[in-house]
Amino acid sequence: LLFRLHTPNLRTLAFHNNSVQLTNSYVNQLCTPTRSAFMTGYYPFRVGTQNGVFLHMEPSGVPLLFPFLSENLRSLGYSTYMVGKWHLGYCRREFLPTSRGFDYFYGFYGPQAGYFNHSSDQWHRDLKRVVGGVDLFEELGEGISKPIFGQNGVYST
């Protein structure tokens, strides 16, 4: 790198005595197998997602017998939010992010959306404008039941 980023908080998280460093990992050539492995903690072939992605009308998703990271975090009292691409099954309500441990979902279910205009026939919400951070909270705050701001005024992303 030509320059080094100064990120003291990230370094503290990464090198703290209680942190876990994953020194050997891999990703799949497609998004669904990699996403399912991250969310379940199992190799894609164990959950049946090793061969491809879930298509528009495909009647399947990551099997419900494999709990997602978000479900485990929610059971520990964490607020969980999913923003962006899902692509882990969306043919039935029980495969959707809010049924898989996320308190709130803002994004699209399927394979892609336009980078600049966010056009897609699969958007979960009709985006009128691009928002992020505090603006996103203000835009969608009515649907969020748990506060995402800390005592020091910092918000989670």
Whether 87 is a known active-site residue: answer: yes
Q: Which is the catalytic residue, given 6, 16, 31, 91?
A: 31
E strand spans, 34-147: 81-85, 104-108
Is residue 40 within 8 Å of 47, Cβ to Cβ? yes
Catalytic annotation, pick one of 6, 16, 87, 91: 87
Residue 79, token pair as written in the block? 């607020």
Residue 51, C-beta contacts closer than 8 angstroms, at least 6 positions apart? 33
> Is position 31 annotated as part of the catalytic site?
yes
Distance CA 137, CA 152 (A): 16
**Active-site positions?**
31, 87
